[in-house]
């Protein structure tokens, strides 16, 4: 696939993922499932940015693991920050 097509696909996927984030954020789900859904979409969005816009899909596996590890680590920290007080208060 040409580079232009990859970028257009990534952009469209990011638009859809952003709409999903807004939908999940405004839905009447439980806090735990809402946080999980929003953070899962955020991880997918970061993957699109890493592979598509940063073009790291052509680099060494080590760099991709480092770049994918950061959004995963941040998502776990955010989830813990939001959910631990919720479970302590329950």
What residues does each domain of the chain span?
3-89
CA 22/CA 45 separation, integer angstroms: 13
Confidence of residue 89 (pLDDT cuts 50, 70, 90): confident
For residues 8-37, average pLDDT: 93
pLDDT tens figures, 35-81: 999 999 999 999 999 988 888 888 899 999 999 999 999 999 999 99
3-state helix, strand, coil in the chain (%, to 5): 90, 0, 10
Instruction: Please give the structure tokens belonging to residue 74.
Output: 């941040």
Q: The pTM is what?
A: 0.84
Task: Indicate if the pLDDT at residue 13 is higher than 90.
Answer: yes
**How much is the pLDDT for 58?**
86
DSSP assignment letter at 30:
-
């Amino acid at each position: 696939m040409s580079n232009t097509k990859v970028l257009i696909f990534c952009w469209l996927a990011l638009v859809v993922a952003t709409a999903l984030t807004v939908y999940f954020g405004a839905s009447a789900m439980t806090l735990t499932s809402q946080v999980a859904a929003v953070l899962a979409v955020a991880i997918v969005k970061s993957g699109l940015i890493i592979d598509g816009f940063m073009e790291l899909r052509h680099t060494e596996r080590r760099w991709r693991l480092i770049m994918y590890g950061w959004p995963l680590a941040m998502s776990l920290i955010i989830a813990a920050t939001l959910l631990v007080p919720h479970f302590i208060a329950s």
